[in-house]
Chains A and B, each alone.
Chain A
Amino acid sequence: MPTRRDMLASTAGALSGAVVFGVPPLAEPEQQRSPAPPPQEPAIPADPTKAPGAPTSALGVRSPQVNPARTPTGAIAGSSLTPHQSLTGTITPADLHFERHHAGVPAIDAAKHELLIHGLVERTLAFSIADLKRFPRVTRTYFIECSGNGGGAFRRPRPEMTPQQIAGLASNTEWTGVPVRALFNEVGAHRDAAWVLAEGSDAAVLTRSIPMSKMLDDALVVWAQNGEPLRPAQGYPIRLLLPGWEGNASIKWLRRLELGTRPWMTREETSKYTDPLKDGTARQFSFEVDAKSIITAPVFPERITRGWHPISGVAWSGRGRVTRVEVSTNGGQSWSNAALLNPPTSKAFVRFEQMWEWTGDETVLLSRATDETGYVQPTRAALIEARGIGTSYHSNPIYGWKVATDGAVTFHGET
């Protein structure tokens, strides 16, 4: 929804634009004395070719007919999910990227913010944001997925779930920043550094221990998302980005990297973000995201009509490229390869699509992704068999959508 400020800006633009048509604009003092009342929602004319349209604007807004929204929860610690059913393509708009905060979104002065790197280093250095921007940059598209994504749909699937509720803790955007290995070269990282503590500058002072191997592989310190500075909810002014790994480890509002020899066993890697298994153990440092896909159309609460429909969705893997997405339109009796609409890249969303003619019979639509390691997205039953029902982190079962004879589409989670 456009805000009142957007409306006022739009009105001001309209007034100055009026000069073009020979109508003098209102004098400045007049505007100050009686600000324009909040205008109505712009009406959509029957024929948009018969009157001039809206003027240019300082900041773009969505059409009043397009109202995607996240699902904010929690007063301080909470999450807010990406509305996959409202999106096409692969790039998540930055304002719809999911959020997960552990003590709110901090307000940070980028001019004062520094990244301190210390511990097993030759030189203890703090880098300003301006310093970081002077290193050679990289721009890459990567998804981030919270390892809690889909936990609820795994343990308690319900027919009225949407893609947002099932998989909204995953988003995919373009990031720009500096490789961590360039920073570690600058400080002179010691050979015996095996783990790195990354710390955020939020009120949780969130910390995770990251293996040195990941930091030297493809880890980035990023300051930009989709071509503009990070949003505060995404870590402004800088965040760590660990491609393909559970989102919690990509520390936002990054302020410190400490190089050491062993993990710190922080709260977020012990009491949380560990995965209990049915054999009475719990996986720890389970960073990688396994291959996953979800159909985002048609989905609940749509009601479809007979005839041709594109079955469309997204797939991703934290272990590399998605090589194949299969779709079944008969509850898994047979599968066929869906078209991939963009060239798959490592640790990023790929959009898949398959055309399907619905003839009015009840059925279940399914998708499953395969990645370059040969891993195939498993059924929910296979995950329960391997792990137990009590594991809700790193949940990646095949998801289904049941189509009833009246065309109503509902979530089918018990695959």
Chain B
Amino acid sequence: MRRLTIATAALLVGCGPSGSDARSPQRMGLGREVPAHEVALVNRDVGPDGVELPPGRGTVAEGATVYAAKCASCHGAKGEGMAPFPRLVGRPAEAEGFKFGASETSLDRTIGNYWPYATTVFDYVRRAMPQLTPGTLTDPEVYALTAFLLASNEVIPMDAALDAESLRAVKMPYQDRFVPDNRRGGREVK
């Protein structure tokens, strides 16, 4: 069903006016042309293949220093979390093996035991952290923090450094546990 919709939609977009709202002319001529250098100011997202990762490099040790200065006040000295600020670090035995769905008790979803992509750590820290001063970390600081958080979660060695190439190569422990939504409506409860 979804596949069919994509195909139909692509066809509509390709045909111009008939693909748009029937009341619109082919183009309204609205909007301001934006030059590439202006787009680059806000186009800072990093996807799972890491092709958008910027230059820079940071070590686990450097990340520990940045973490202590800028993150520990909310997330705890060891990333253990302080409600409402989430736990970031830890591979407790009761959650290992992705036990979240079956567990009667609420298990902390840490970077190490849940997050499927390492690039997400970089993207999120760079865009939204620290919460009171978001967007202020330099790219080397973000690489260092990402390295520190991944090492603390036993994903990379404690003596590691990260740059674009090495971050792209990191595979998270439970990436293969994420599956497409199989709910489709109809009689069956999923």
- In this complex, how many residues of chain B approach chain A with their Cβ under 8 Å: the count is 71
A290 → chain B closest CB, angstroms: 7
A181 → chain B closest CB, angstroms: 6
Q: Do the beta carbons of A205 and B134 come within 8 Å of each other?
A: yes
Q: Do the beta carbons of A282 and B13 come within 8 Å of each other?
A: no
| A266 adjacent to chain B (CB < 8 Å) | yes
| A109 adjacent to chain B (CB < 8 Å) | no
A-contact 0/1 string along B173-189, CB 8 Å cutoff: 00001111111111101
User: With contacts A205-B127, A374-B187 known, is A281 near B20, CB below 8 A?
Assistant: no
Interface residues of A in 95-117 (CB under 8 A from B): 102-103, 114, 116-117
| A70 adjacent to chain B (CB < 8 Å) | no
| A255 adjacent to chain B (CB < 8 Å) | yes
Chain B contacts for A185, CB-based, 8 A: 13, 16-17, 19-21, 24, 26-27
* B34, B100, B115: the one within 8 Å of A270 (CB): B115
Chain A contacts for B184, CB-based, 8 A: 373
Q: Do the beta carbons of A286 and B47 come within 8 Å of each other?
A: no
B189 → chain A closest CB, angstroms: 4
CA distance A135 to B22 in the complex (A): 12
A230 → chain B closest CB, angstroms: 20
Chain A contacts for B179, CB-based, 8 A: 281-284
Q: Do the beta carbons of B21 and A179 come within 8 Å of each other?
A: yes
B-contact 0/1 string along A242-265, CB 8 Å cutoff: 000000000000011010101111
A-contact 0/1 string along B3-15, CB 8 Å cutoff: 0011001101110
User: With contacts A181-B21, A386-B190 known, is A191 near B13, CB below 8 A?
Assistant: yes
Q: Do the beta carbons of B101 and A262 come within 8 Å of each other?
A: no
Chain A contacts for B100, CB-based, 8 A: 276, 282, 390
* A103, A118, A194, A276: the one within 8 Å of B43 (CB): A118
Interface bracket on A = 35 or more
Q: Do the beta carbons of A374 and B185 come within 8 Å of each other?
A: yes
Q: Do the beta carbons of A389 and B181 come within 8 Å of each other?
A: no
CA distance A394 to B34 in the complex (A): 39
Interface residues of B in 25-79 (CB under 8 A from A): 26-28, 30-34, 36, 39, 42-43, 45-49
A117 → chain B closest CB, angstroms: 8
A212 → chain B closest CB, angstroms: 6
User: With contacts A213-B2, A271-B120 known, is A103 near B45, CB below 8 A?
Assistant: no
CA distance A264 to B119 in the complex (A): 9
CA distance A116 to B35 in the complex (A): 11
Interface residues of A in 187-246 (CB under 8 A from B): 187, 189, 191, 194, 197, 199, 203-207, 211-213, 216-217
Q: Do the beta carbons of B102 and A123 come within 8 Å of each other?
A: no
| A76 adjacent to chain B (CB < 8 Å) | yes
Chain A contacts for B46, CB-based, 8 A: 264
Chain B contacts for A74, CB-based, 8 A: 84
CA distance A213 to B114 in the complex (A): 28
CA distance A264 to B120 in the complex (A): 8
A16 → chain B closest CB, angstroms: 44
Residue among A211, A274, A279, A388 with the highest chain B CB neighbour number at 10 A: A274
Chain B contacts for A391, CB-based, 8 A: 101
User: With contacts A212-B9, A375-B186 known, is A205 near B120, CB below 8 A?
Assistant: no
Interface residues of A in 319-368 (CB under 8 A from B): 319-320
Interface of B is mostly: loop
Chain B contacts for A280, CB-based, 8 A: 97-99, 101-102, 177
A319 → chain B closest CB, angstroms: 4
| B104 adjacent to chain A (CB < 8 Å) | yes
Chain A contacts for B135, CB-based, 8 A: 205
| A378 adjacent to chain B (CB < 8 Å) | yes
Chain B contacts for A207, CB-based, 8 A: 45, 123, 127
CA distance A279 to B118 in the complex (A): 24
Q: Do the beta carbons of B109 and A114 come within 8 Å of each other?
A: no
Q: Do the beta carbons of B101 and A282 come within 8 Å of each other?
A: yes
Q: Do the beta carbons of A194 and B6 come within 8 Å of each other?
A: yes
| B170 adjacent to chain A (CB < 8 Å) | no
| B169 adjacent to chain A (CB < 8 Å) | no
Q: Chain A: which residue is nearest B46 at the CB level?
A: A264
| A288 adjacent to chain B (CB < 8 Å) | yes
A346 → chain B closest CB, angstroms: 13
Q: Chain B: which residue is nearest A288 at the CB level?
A: B183
* B33, B120, B177: the one within 8 Å of A267 (CB): B120
Q: Do the beta carbons of A383 and B178 come within 8 Å of each other?
A: no
Q: Do the beta carbons of B120 and A270 come within 8 Å of each other?
A: yes
User: With contacts A189-B13, A197-B45 known, is A284 near B117, CB below 8 A?
Assistant: no
CA distance A275 to B177 in the complex (A): 11
B167 → chain A closest CB, angstroms: 13
17 extra A-B contacts, CB within 8 A, seeds A127-B30, A270-B178 = A124-B34, A134-B30, A185-B13, A205-B127, A217-B9, A256-B43, A265-B119, A266-B123, A266-B124, A282-B177, A283-B178, A283-B182, A374-B186, A378-B189, A385-B189, A387-B101, A390-B100
> Interface residues, chain A, CB within 8 Å of chain B?
74, 76-77, 102-103, 114, 116-118, 123-128, 131, 134-136, 155, 179, 181-182, 184-187, 189, 191, 194, 197, 199, 203-207, 211-213, 216-217, 255-256, 258, 260, 262-267, 270-271, 274-288, 290, 319-320, 371, 373-376, 378, 382-383, 385-391, 394
A selection of 15 A-B contacts at a CB cut-off of 8 Å is A124-B34, A135-B28, A186-B27, A211-B6, A258-B43, A264-B47, A265-B48, A265-B120, A270-B117, A270-B120, A279-B101, A280-B101, A281-B98, A286-B183, A374-B187
